[in-house]
Structures are given as C-alpha cells and as structure tokens.
Structure 1
Amino acid sequence: MRKIALLTHEWRQDALERARSAKERLGKAGITVVDATCSSDVADAELLLVAGGDGTILRGAEFTRGTKVPILGINFGHVGFLAEAEPSSMDEVVTAVIEHQWTVEDRMTLDLDITLENGEVIHDWAVNEASIEKAHGARTINLGIGVDGRGLSTYNADAALISTPTGSTAYNFSAQGPVVWPDVEAMIFNPIAAHALFTRPLVVGPNSVIQVQVYSRDAIIWCDGRRPVDVVGGAQIEARHSSERVYLARLNDSPFSSRLVRKFHLPVAGWRKRGADD
C-alpha cells in the first residue's frame, strides 16, 4: 500500500482547495494520503507533498529530518525557491506522483551548537540559515567571527547570517550575499550592514567550523526563521556541516541556472549558446 503525506498552508484557501482535490485524486488511485501534523505521520511515507510557500516547506523539513522522505513542494507563496511546481501545474504534479515519476536531490544542512553565558548548550539545525540578530530596540549587535578556531574580525552589524547553498537564495540573497550552486558543499557567513574594515561574505568548505561570538547582552538567533533562541548576556555559536540531509523531489532535470532565471525573472534576452549561429 502506497502512502503519501500531505502538508498544506493552513491559511491559504487556494492551497487548501487544491490540496483537497489532490487528496481525492490520489485516493482514487489507491494511494493512502495522511495529513502531516508531526514527524510520525511522515516517517513511513514515500513522499511529503507540500502545498504552500518556502516557510511551509521548511516546516515539512522538520517533519522529514532523520528520514530520507523527499519533499515535493507546490508554490502557493511568493518566490517559492524550494518548490518544484506552481499551482497551475497541480494536475501534472498529481499525475507524476501517481506514476512515481520523480527524482530525488539531496541538500546539505547545518548543525548548530549555541553555548549560552550560563554554560547551557542548545543544539539546533538549519536548512537555509541561522540568522543572528539584534534584539528589539537595539541599535546594532556586536559580533566576533572566527573559522576553525582562528579569529578573523570583530564588528558591529545589524545582523549576520550563516547559510547553506540552499539558503544562499533566501535571506542571504536579499543581503547581497553570493549565490552558491546547491551541489557545492559549503557554508556562507554574511554580515549585514557591518561597521569594520573587513566585512565581506565568506564561503568556507565542508570540513570547516564557523564560530561566532555574540558580545552584545541581548540578541536572538533564528534557525530557518522558525525556531528562535534568545541570547541574554552573550553566546558562542558553532556551525558545521551536518550529516543529516534534506531531500527534495524533482520533476525535471533542468539545471540550477534555469531555476534562478525562472524564480527571479532574470533578464536573459539576447543570450545565445556558443556556436548557435556559427
């Protein structure tokens, strides 16, 4: 018996209606469909179908973490960079699911160890990024950055990001950080509006560890914009390549560059392949 888990943005009426229709059609094809409300609903499914934006897909990643269940996203949000399809192609998506016509792409994630001033260590993780931000009312946040145990710089900033290649097209992209292809196993550190001589984004390899010392007395760390960790009195953050992956279902084999052009509506008029008219 085949089983598909379904996660829908609970406030988007269009997503709810399309998801309901998809559930009925999958059921008629003999596939059991369960509404995903926790990890146990997803653990033995062959696929997690998500109707929502990137935030809903990141919620789905919380359910699938520790499994190899792939996530197939239909974008009912804005950019929807993690999504594979738009609502207009929902019927084609359902057909592909019924016929088991998808491939799986795995992406790296981050492991985060956050040591608070009192010695407590909080373990978390991220698919996109960890953002270190000033608390409400603060003017800036004072940070020190190091890689592999060697300090590099200290500065005041509005925030700082530690991102994966997947997250390079999210908050990091808005903060003028580099776009990194998803098959590059790297971490990106990007200070936002920093005041110092050396404030460039850094791209480090998979075996490195990024360390951030929070000197400010009041800050907050967001993991994927979903899970906050309040920092009172300073903290030290270590970010490293995680052994856990996130798995995304793909319906076509178009290159990442095509996704960039499509999602960000990049102007490519006049581009031609070398030799096309030679």
Structure 2
Amino acid sequence: MIHRIGLIANLDKPDVVEVLGEAHRMAQAEGIEVVVEPAIAAALGGDLRAVEPEQIADAVDVMLSFGGDGTFLRGARLVGESSTPLLGINMGSLGFLAEVRVEELADAIGALRRGEYLLEKRRRVGAEIHRDGEVVFAVDALNDVALNMGPSARAMDLEISVDGICIGRYLADGMIVASPTGSTAYNLSAGGPIVEASMDALVVNPICPHTLGVRPLILGPGRVVELRLHECEHGRITGDGQVSAELASGDRIVFPREQSPCYFLRLPRRNLFQIIQEKLRWGGLPRNHLEQGGKRASDRDQSASDREN
C-alpha cells in the first residue's frame, strides 16, 4: 500500500501546474502524503514538503512523473539504484512510458491507495568508456545507449565483441544498445525488433551499416558487450538522449553484465501489445478496426455453432 508519493514534472508543458495541483488534492483526499521537487513547490505555493530531486526517491513509496517520456526517463535516472517504482502521467504527445492519461489520474491515485497495481522489474543499459586504462565516463540508461558521429558525416569503424569474442567489424553511422523497454524507441525506428519488456536481454542494433549482412542482435542475460572504435572523429555516446560524452578513436565502450533494475508501477488495464497498438499503430490496422474485426470473427464462430446445432 502506498502512503507517500513524490511528484516530478516538466513545468514547460501546458496545464501541468493545474494538473499537479489536482494530483496534490486527490492524494490528500486519499490520505497520501505528497513530496515534490523545489520547482514544483514554488509553482504551486502553499505548505508543500519539498526535497531536492536526487533525494525524492528515498523519501517516497512511488514517484509520479508528469510530462512525456522524457520526464519519465529523467525520473528513471533520479531513482538510481533504489527500488522506488515509477508511474508516468502523460502530458506529452506519445506517452509510451508515461501511459496514464490525465483523465485517469483520479482512478490511478485511488488504485495506489488500495494497492491495485502491478510492479514490474525492467532491465537498464549501462555503459562505460575505457580510455588509456581508465573509465572516463559511465552512464545508466533505461531505454538505450547510442553511439553516433555527432556533426560529422563520416562513418564509425566499429568492432563488436561479446564475452571477449570478436563477432564483427564494420562501418556504420553508429550503434544502438537497447534494453527491452527501449526496444520500442530509437531501436524500433532504426529497424530493430520489439522485445517483450519483461525479458532480461539487450538489443545491439547497428545504425545504417555499410554492409547488407549486418543485422541487429538480441543477447540474453549475463553477456558482456564491448565496442571498440578504430576510427572515430567527433563521435558521441548518449544515454536515453539526455546524458552524453565525446568519443575518441581507440575508446572501448563496455556494457557490463549486471545493472540495477528500474521498477515500473503499472495499473492492470493495458498490456504491452495493447500499448503498442494504441501508441505505435502496430499490427497495421487502427485499434478500433482490430476490435471490430475480432467481433466479426466471434459472430462468425457463433453462426457456425448455431448451424451445427
């Protein structure tokens, strides 16, 4: 049961301050204490408990993000290695991660109080840049870590190893290493596969490789992936599109075997396939058409049964 919630938000979104105020009032009505980041406290006014964003996860039972998927990804960084789960309220355009609609907010807060929710463990992607025998940069990402050439139009000369065994070297515009959660983001746009979010796996997806035979890989748990840059000028590595660093020729980018998971708090209303149908138009037909088609199929089955009887 949830007793204390933390609120983070993208305050640049239209109407977000009003929605945050409603969330605060709804939580109070349910007997739930609210903790916010200082910027939200200043925007709402009143007597709100405010703590620094990096400290919210340790002060609450669940963190709610108000914004789009970018705000949710920021929340994933803030919870860090803690087990505090995340729930996203969508105020953006797509809202694949932030799947709760604003009009569902009252139901969501009531469900938190009643304990009517699911807790899902999601794998993260961690990456380290090894340069001259030292780790010069490290990042943990929920969706993906991407390597690209930044402003340069030149290709990367990449060598990939899995568990210390070289499995290929090729030219490409970059590389995406995605978690199952992130398989529906940049990876999918780059032609990669959708991986069920509950799996413990990594997708390694070259960006526009210069050889037709190079295709994405799905690697199981316990694998250590290493990318070596043989030639790279002005390249960058980016985690979740938010945290980045420069790359140099000779860098080794290591994706360690184990990462602390991120926990999602989800309401038992939609599954992965319903979400990708609704948000990404997956399956080729609009969702209402699929539902009508299913109904017609049921009608045909019933008619066949009536004829047999």
Aligned to 2:46: none
Residue type at the aligned position of 2:229:
V
Is contact 1:153–1:198 with CA below 8 Å preserved after alignment? no
Shift of 1:151: 1.4
Shift of 1:112: 1.6
Correspondence 1:272 to 2:287: no
Residue type at the aligned position of 2:144:
E
Shift of 1:92: 1.9
How many residues get paired?
Answer: 278
Correspondence 1:261 to 2:277: yes
More strand per residue: 1
Aligned to 2:18: 17
Aligned to 1:169: 184
Q: Equivalent pairs: percent with the same residue?
A: 30
Structure 2 counterpart SS, 1:272: helix
Residue type at the aligned position of 2:160:
I
Aligned to 1:239: 255
Is contact 1:110–1:239 with CA below 8 Å preserved after alignment? yes
Report the RMSD for the aligned CA atoms in angstroms: 2.2
Aligned to 2:239: 223
Pair 131,243 (structure 1): closer, same or farther in 2 beyond 3 Å: closer
Correspondence 1:30 to 2:31: yes
Larger radius of gyration: 2
State TM-score, norm by structure 2: 0.83
Equivalent residue for 1:181, pick from 185, 196, 212: 196
Correspondence list, 1:89-168, <5 A: 89-117=104-132, 119-168=134-183
The higher-RCO structure (CA 8 Å, 6+ apart) is 1
Residues 216-238 of structure 1 show CA distances to partners (whole Å, capped at 9, x for unaligned) of: 13310001111102113331111
Correspondence 1:248 to 2:264: yes
Pair 54,241 (structure 1): closer, same or farther in 2 beyond 3 Å: farther
Shift of 1:265: 2.7
Separation in 1, partners of 2:146, 2:271: 28
Separation in 1, partners of 2:160, 2:102: 42
Structure 1 counterpart SS, 2:253: strand
Separation in 1, partners of 2:14, 2:250: 42
Is contact 1:141–1:159 with CA below 8 Å preserved after alignment? yes
Separation in 1, partners of 2:222, 2:133: 28
Q: Structure 2 unaligned runs (5+)? A: 38-51, 305-309
Separation in 2, partners of 1:115, 1:177: 27
Separation in 1, partners of 2:130, 2:124: 20
Shift of 1:59: 0.6
Residues 31-66 of structure 1 show CA distances to partners (whole Å, capped at 9, x for unaligned) of: 221113422122131110111111101110111121
Separation in 2, partners of 1:139, 1:67: 40
Pair 255,13 (structure 1): closer, same or farther in 2 beyond 3 Å: closer
Residue type at the aligned position of 1:5:
G
Higher deviation after alignment, 231-240 or 59-68? 231-240
Shift of 1:264: 1.3
Shift of 1:242: 2.8
Shift of 1:118: 6.5
Pair 192,225 (structure 1): closer, same or farther in 2 beyond 3 Å: same
More helix per residue: 2
Aligned to 2:221: 206
Aligned to 1:75: 90
Separation in 1, partners of 2:165, 2:133: 23
Structure 2 counterpart SS, 1:61: helix
Residue type at the aligned position of 1:4:
I
Structure 1 counterpart SS, 2:182: helix
Separation in 2, partners of 1:88, 1:247: 24
Residue type at the aligned position of 2:266:
R
Structure 1 counterpart SS, 2:294: coil
Separation in 1, partners of 2:33, 2:106: 18
